[in-house]
Every structure is written in C-alpha cells, then in structure tokens.
Amino acid sequence: MKKLLLMAIASSLLTASVYAAELTPLQSDSEPDRTDWSQLEAKYGPMPKPSAKLKIGGVSKTLTNEYWRSLGQGYKNVADKDGFTFAYQAAANEDDQLGQLSIAETLIAQGFNGLLVSPQTDANLQPAYEVAQSKGISVVNVNDAVMPNAAHYVGNVQKDNGVRVAQWFIKHYPQGGKVAVIEGQPGVYAAGQRTKGFRDTITANGKFKLVASVPANWSREKAYDAASTILQQYPDLIGFYANNDGMALGVVEAVRSAGKAQQTAVFGTDGISDAYASIKRGELTGTVDSFPILTGEVAMNVMLRLIDGQKISRVVSTPQALITKDNADAFSIKDNEKLRKLLEQQ
C-alpha cells in the first residue's frame, strides 16, 4: 500500500502544474504572503454570496479525534448558513494515507467545486491536488500537514504552539529543570514545528535540559508508553509537552501512575473538550487551543472568496491561546461570535 502511494506521489510531482511549479515550497509558519483571520473582511471586503449549486468537500485526517470533528463543524456552519452542499469525509485512522487520498480523488470525480483538505502527511494528497489543479478546482490546505506546492493554506502558526508552552515553563520554573517532548507523526510539518518551537525556546533559556523527544504518532496509548519510559529514566522530570491533546492525556495517565502528578506539568495542543475538562479537574496543566470550529469557518470563507475569483494571500493565519486553569472558564465559550471578539481583543 505504501509503495503504491509513493508511486502516485512521484508521478504527481513529475506532472505538477506550471502554476504550482512557480510557487516556492510552502512554509506556512514563515510565508510572508499572509493575512490574519481577523483582517479578511477589512482587506478583501464583505463575503460574497455563494451559489446554492456549489458543492464543497472536506477531506479530514480522521473523525476519531475531536479536533477534526470540530473543524468539520466549522465548515458546516458556513454551508448551512449559506445553503450550499457540503460533504465531510475522513480516513479510517491517522495512518490510512491511501484511504484519505481515495476520498479526495472521489470528491474530485463527483464534480465538487472546491476541496478543504487536511493531509495526513505533507505528501500523501499531492496526487489529488495536482488533479484538482488541472481541473480548476480550488483547494485549501487546512492546518497540520502542509503540501509544499499548496497555493492556499489556513491555520495557526504551528511553531508558536511550542513557543507558548516553553514560555510558560520559563516563567513558572525560573530555576529550570528537565523536560521532554512527545512528538506527533514524523515528517508532518505541524509536529516538527511544534517541537521546534518548544525545543528552541526552552534550550535558549539555558536553565532547562530537554532530555527526550520521541514520536507517539498522535496515539494516546503510545504517548502513555513513551512517557512511562521517560519517567523511569528521569524521575526528576518537571514537565512534558505533547504535540496534541490526545497524547497529552495519555501522558497525564502515565504521570499519575508514576506518582508524579504534583511534580510533573503536562501540556498538550488543540484545545479539545476532554483537555479543557482535565485542566479544570487539575490534571492536565494546559493546552494551546487553536479553535478548530472558528478555523473551519475561516477556511470555508477563504474557499468561497477563491471561488468568487478573489486573490487571497497564500496563508491566512488563525488564532491560538495558551489555556490553563486560570483562563479555561473564560475560553469555554459556546457562542462563536463572543469567542471571536475575545480573541480579537488579545
């Protein structure tokens, strides 16, 4: 299966469109052609009124993770409000790269006008992307993995997730200490950037030692096992940073099992409801919320502007916030308009 995927990717790269070839490889965190989500209307004007005949597809990594379900809800909010067709599909799990590619190819064959895609890796949806480009179908890469020749990307600055957590440790542990990272899937842009942001910031301080940084492939169970091993090796560890909340909750279990709950802080990324609940119970120390419902709404708005013919920045950056017990209640807002105003005030 992997061999077939690699062959498909190689073929797509050889037949890349002229337009894609003119683009520099996308680094979404540092791409200069960018617009902040809160400035879209000011920069590009009011939202266009979409046709009821539009068909927009969403291709997700998986629906077993609440983050991706919430992102889909954001897409659906806009589609329901404006009355066009929207279909949201996902691979069986976060390792089903061929399954995700097949979903994207099927939506293209069914005549969808645009695709909002969250690739499992930076390369696995490249074949579908090239076909969509050749047919004039708009594609927006939404968060996480980043296709190098993607023309449009919507998501938060991934490196800042790790930076914010490292800054928390620096502030709360002025004496420093030993810390560890539980990484996501190797080769995925978001995982690499989150880890880099944490590592670079914490080590630059000079008082901390990053004693371990190991992948757990977004798996709660693998994160539990990895954290248990690290705690055995470094019983004086003061903290973990995990690349997503599912893994962070696995780390919380490992820390509790080792009797280190009072000693070892644990942070995640994404801001899923289970993470908020754990923070409020005093278990998980914190998370970096990237507000997936709002991100989904912004991404769909960008898609509708592209279909309308607008020339949008290559990157539209979406918000994030470090959540701890101090502000978890304030950010537990169900009203999305109030959340938008709160984030705009940051």
CB atoms within 10 A of CB 326: 10
pLDDT at 223 over 50: yes
Strand partners, 179: 210, 239
88 and 223 inside one domain: no
Q: pTM for the whole thing?
A: 0.91
Closest listed residue to residue 260, CA positions, set 221, 233, 289? 233
The answer on pLDDT for 95 being more than 70 is: yes
Determine the Cα–Cα distance for residues 10 and 12; give it in Å rounded to an integer. 5
Instruction: Give the helix ranges, DSSP H, for 218-309.
Output: 220-233, 245-257, 273-280, 292-307
Mean pLDDT to the nearest integer, 227-254:
98
Same domain assignment for residues 46 and 128: yes
Whether the CB-CB separation of 248 and 275 falls below 8 Å is answered with yes
Is pLDDT at 246 greater than 60 in this prediction? Answer: yes
- The DSSP code sequence of 47-61 is PP---TT-EEEEEES
Asked if residue 341 belongs to a domain, the reply is: no
For residue 18, which amino acid is it? Answer: V
Does residue 269 share a domain with residue 314?
Answer: no
Nearest to 316 by CA among 288, 296, 287, 339: 296
pLDDT at 10: 46
The two structure tokens encoding residue 14:
């050889």
Total Cβ atoms within 10 A of residue 18:
7
Q: 216 and 205, same structural domain?
A: yes
CA distance 62 to 93: 5
Percent of the chain with pLDDT over 90: 89
pLDDT of the residue at 23: 85
**Pair (178, 264) in one structural domain:** yes
pLDDT for 216 beyond 80: yes
Extract the tokens encoding 144.
Answer: 């996480």
Q: Are residues 136 and 162 in the same domain?
A: no
CATH number, residue 196: 3.40.50.2300
Range of the domain at 310: 2-15+24-155+292-318
Q: What is the distance in angstroms between the CA of the first residue and the CA of the last residue of the chain?
A: 46
Q: What's the confidence (pLDDT) of residue 272?
A: 97
**Is 173 part of a structural domain of the chain?**
yes
Closest CA to 248 of 226, 227, 267, 270: 267
Does 278 fall in a domain? Answer: yes
Q: Is the pLDDT of residue 52 over 90?
A: yes
Q: Specify the length of the chain in residues.
A: 346
pLDDT value, residue 4: 46
* Two structure tokens written together for 53: 């005949």
247 and 234 in a common domain: yes
Under a CB-based contact definition with an 8 Å cutoff, are residues 62 and 94 in contact?
yes
Q: Which residues of 92-123 are buried (b: 16+ CB within 10 A; e: fewer)?
A: ebbbbbbbbbebbbebbeeebbbbbbbbbbbb
pLDDT tier for residue 337 given thresholds of 50, 70 and 90: confident
Q: Note whether residue 333 is domain-resident.
A: no
Of 14 and 207, more confident: 207
Say how many C-beta atoms besides its own lie within 10 A of residue 205's C-beta: 14
Q: Are residues 298 and 151 in the same domain?
A: yes
The dihedral of CA 234, 240, 241, 244: what is its sign? Answer: positive
pLDDT at residue number 345:
83
Q: What is the pLDDT of residues 99-125, one digit of tens each?
A: 999 999 999 999 999 999 999 999 999
Predicted local distance difference test score (pLDDT) of residue 126? 96
> In this structure, is residue 328 part of a structural domain?
no
Q: Please give the residue that has the higher pLDDT: either 85 or 95.
A: 85
Whether residue 18 is predicted with pLDDT greater than 70 in this model: the reply is no
Question: Do both 80 and 200 map to the same domain?
Answer: no
Looking at the fold, whether 147 and 113 belong to one and the same domain comes out as: yes
Q: What's the rounded mean pLDDT across residues 119-137?
A: 96
Domain count within the chain: 2
- % of residues, the chain, pLDDT over 70: 94
User: What's the mean pLDDT when you consider all of the chain?
Assistant: 93
